[in-house]
Amino acid sequence: MTEMNQVNKDKLVADLKVVVADAEELVKLTAGTAGEKLADVRSRLAGSLADIKLKLGDLEAVVVEKTKQVARATDDYVHENPWRSIGAAAGAAFLLGLLVGRR
At 1 the pLDDT is 52
Long-range contacts of 16-22 (CB under 8 A, 24+ apart): 16/52, 18/48, 19/45, 19/48, 19/49, 19/52, 22/48
Task: Round to whole Å and give the CA distance between 6 and 27.
Answer: 32
Span 12-31, average pLDDT? 74
pTM of the model: 0.51
Tens of pLDDT, residue by residue over 61-77, are 888 888 899 899 999 99
* Domain spans, the chain: 2-101
At 33 the pLDDT is 64
At 12 the pLDDT is 75
